[in-house]
Amino acid sequence: MKIIDVHSHLYPQEWVDYLSSRKECPKIEQKDSTSMIFYSHNVRCSSADKPEFFDPAARISDLDNCGIDMQILSLTAPGVEELPVDEGVEWARKINNYFAEVCNTYPGRFYAYATLPYQDVDQALQELDRAYHDLGVKGIAMLSNVNFKPISSPEFLPIYAKAEEYDLPVFVHPGVPYTGEIMLKHKLIPALYGFLLDTTMAVTSLIWCGILEDYPGLKIIHAHLGGMVPYLVKRIEDCWQFYLKSFGGKNLPQTPTQYYRRQVFPDSISSYLPAMRCCLDFVGAEQIVLGTDYPFSVGGWDQAIDLVKQLELCEKDTSNILGDNAARIFNLA
């Protein structure tokens, strides 16, 4: 068994330099050579403070020390979709090329999600074709909203159709959340609840709008232990049953949780065993994949493997979560 981390991030240095030169969002406030704050849609969305955020070679010793054999790399917010179309298309190509270089430099150690310019779906489809056929990406990265447009919007359906055709999982990761400004009014950072609520709305909307029904082969990786879904299962079912028609929802042959269990794969990031057990009880050990959020500190990337082992599951279930599920879902076997 190979231990596979499906949720880790890397910023290309060229992308960092470009964002540092910008005066408007997306941009970076540079503190020093390895310490900076990222801004997206005028909200502070993340920060970086060590070489592992930018240098793949610097993270090898960390992976070796904690026992991770493979990582699937993605860009995180701010994304290229926040740029004007031409710039977004150009930077998507550059970032995908960079990830391909990293994967070729460290064969079998790193794989990549495609970065796409979602502000122009036709261009995104062209880049997805190139990234799949020429660069060998293993999945598609998508923020939980596209410039505050729901990812269940009809314009994105061709992307889901192509993801199903190529058998590429779509990794739904938080972007700047709809609730960002509201949380700041409460003196709370968006990362506290906003990120998890945003991915929960995004993935639930994919189900309620019938996208998982229409694309039964589409696979979704839901970041951060499935957001809030495992804790709201009964409420999701009840609201779907009693309020769907009054909100103009689509009548579906299965319930929301049936689609979730069939096509959505939460990663394991939590650092809290009772929460992990709740998700485990909901979807089962064959649906959860290991995630670390490396190199970010929230979530405790260095504890990710030990926490799975602390669940004290049978050997098969533990192996499934640590790597076998990801190998199957991402066709890495």
Q: What is the dihedral of CA 118, 119, 123, 126, to 10 degrees?
A: 0
Percent of the chain with pLDDT over 90: 85
245 or 47, which is more confident: 47
CATH number of the domain encompassing residue 207: 3.20.20.140
Q: How far from chain centre, in Å, is Cα 131? A: 17
For the segment 194-223, the average pLDDT, to the nearest whole number, is: 96
Task: Give the domain extent around 36.
Answer: 4-329
Predicted confidence (pLDDT) per residue in 163-186, tens digit: 999 999 999 999 999 988 888 889
Tally the residues of the chain: 333
pLDDT at 108: 95
Is residue 192 predicted with pLDDT exceeding 90?
A: no
For the segment 153-169, the average pLDDT, to the nearest whole number, is: 98
pLDDT at 241: 87
- Beta-strand relationship, 43-48 and 70-74: unpaired
Q: How many folded domains does the chain comprise?
A: 1
Is residue 248 predicted with pLDDT exceeding 80?
A: no
pLDDT at 141: 98
Q: Please tell me the least confidently modeled range out of 66-75, 245-254, 261-270, 322-331.
A: 245-254
Q: In what order do the strands lie in the sheet with 35-40?
A: 27-32, 35-40, 43-48
Which two three-digit tokens encode residue 130?
Answer: 């190139």
Q: What is each CA distance from 41 to 148, 175, 202, 205, in whole angstroms?
A: 9, 10, 18, 22
Q: Sorting pLDDT into bands at 50, 70 and 90, what band is 98? A: very high
Q: Sorting pLDDT into bands at 50, 70 and 90, what band is 128? A: very high
Predicted confidence (pLDDT) per residue in 259-315, tens digit: 999 999 999 999 899 999 999 999 999 999 999 999 998 878 989 999 999 999 999
Q: What is the radius of gyration, based on Cα positions, of the chain?
A: 19
280 or 241, which is more confident: 280
Amino acid (1-letter code) at residue 148: F
Compute the mean pLDDT over every residue in the chain, rounded to the nearest whole number: 95
pLDDT at 299: 75
pLDDT at 236: 93
